Structure 1
Amino acid sequence: MLVIGWQERVDLPLLGLTNLKAKIDTGARTSALHATDIVEFERNAAPWVRFHTRFDDDAHDTDVECPIHDRRQITNTSGVPETRIVIRTKFRISTHLWKIDLSLTERTEMKFRMIVGRTAMRRHSILVDPCKRNLTTPTRPKRPKEKS
């Protein structure tokens, strides 16, 4: 059983995104990723999407291109249903790696640019401790205090 906190650092290696601060949200069904400037296009007769994403730790926008997996009606945080593009990609938390679906949406005003919903965690033996955070993130050794 993998025990995680309500906030964790995760990777989306196929998208080239690492060490992302994500909220583990068992109240959300679908996972969501911050995306702006979303542009749909075709590549080899298949639907693809290009978008920008930015995380608080990044100094710049990251451009991402990937195939479109689906379109779904998803209820946003205000309770309003909206149609979103959904991509399927690899997700890593700690040493565990599996595929997840991510809806693309503007999350600029949200504290967390990525939400990991319960569907992404289903069938992966995960326990969420709501009192803890960053349980899977290696801790950095504390620097000794300088003597004055």
Structure 2
Amino acid sequence: MRLKPFSLCLCLLSLSFPGLALGKSIYGLNEYIHIEELDVLVAAKLDTGAKTASLSARDIKRFKRNGETWVRFVLAVDDSHEHTVERPLSRISKIKRRAGDFDPEEGKTYTARPVIDLELCMGQTLRTIEVNLTDRSAFQYPLLIGSEALKDFEAMVDPSLKYAAGKPGCTNDATPGE
């Protein structure tokens, strides 16, 4: 079988750029994310070493509504976006504590965090992502996107880039997950 020059070039190109071959998008270490339901734009850190996504929140309280567990929290993104949010609770996540965060008297090696589902737009891609809630006010970025969410976004992260996807541009009629 003889390959035509165009086919050969296409094969070599896909080997040179695995992101193209896999249909993945390349994002930078930091990206802008639009949280659709809250209509908030935040800068996020993309962290392949973290498993889950985390959003900065405080005053986190669980409550019941129509027999279901919900969570109420104050979005702690910046001073202009401090407002109370209520969302259904998806689950409770157990996050491994770092050595400096471990209290031997308490005896827990993990922290339990509430998890909610949020529609996030990064670049032109809209996905429903599980996000755990925790106070991230000590961190530079109020939103951390971990490896599970990066898989959902079909993302490749190039740490030499920042804001490679530009401002989020998902349309209102975009279908999550497609």
Q: TM-score normalised to the size of structure 2?
A: 0.71
Deviation at 1:60, TM superposition (A): 4.2
Report the identity percentage: 29
Pair 1:118-2:147 in alignment: yes
In 1, Cα distance between the equivalents of 2:54 and 2:95? 10
Structure 1 residue corresponding to 2:70, chosen from 32, 48, 52: 48
Q: Residue 17 of structure 1: CA displacement?
A: 3.8
- What is the letter of the counterpart of residue 25 of structure 2? L
Instruction: Look up the SS of the partner of 1:35 in the other structure.
Output: strand
Would you say 1:108 and 2:137 are equivalent positions? yes
Can you list the C-alpha shifts for 1:85-140, whole angstroms capped at 9, x where unaligned? 111121110110111111111111111111000001115431111001011124xx
Quote how far apart the aligned CAs of 1:44 are: 1.2
Where 1:39 maps in the other structure, the secondary structure is strand
Q: CA deviation at 1:62?
A: 2.3
Q: What is the SS of the residue equivalent to 2:148?
A: helix
Ranked by relative contact order (alpha carbons within 8 Å, sequence separation 6 or more), the top structure is 1
Candidates 94, 98, 112, aligned match of 1:73: 94
CA separation of 1:123/1:103 partners in 2, compared to 1, >3 Å: closer, same or farther? closer
Note the C-alpha offset of 1:18: 2.3
Counterpart of 1:90 in structure 2: which amino acid? E
Which of the two has greater strand per residue?
1
- Whether 1:94 aligns to 2:94 is no
Counterpart in the other structure of 1:38: 60
Amino acid paired to 2:77: F
5+ unaligned residues in a row in structure 1: which ranges?
139-148
TM-aligned CA deviation for residue 79 of structure 1: 6.2
Tell me the matched-pair count: 136
Runs of 4+ residues deviating >4 angstroms: 76-80
Rounded to whole Å, the distance in 2 between the matches of 1:60 and 1:18 is 8
CA 1:115 to 1:36, structure 2 compared with 1: closer, same or farther past 3 Å? same
Instruction: Give unpaired runs (5+ residues) of structure 2.
Output: 1-23, 103-109, 168-178
- Mapped partners of 1:12, 1:60: distance in 2: 12
Q: Identify which of 23, 26, 31 aligns with 1:3.
A: 26
CA distance in structure 2 between the partners assigned to 1:3 and 1:34 by the alignment = 25
Alpha-carbon RMSD: 1.7
| Structure whose CA Rg is larger | 2
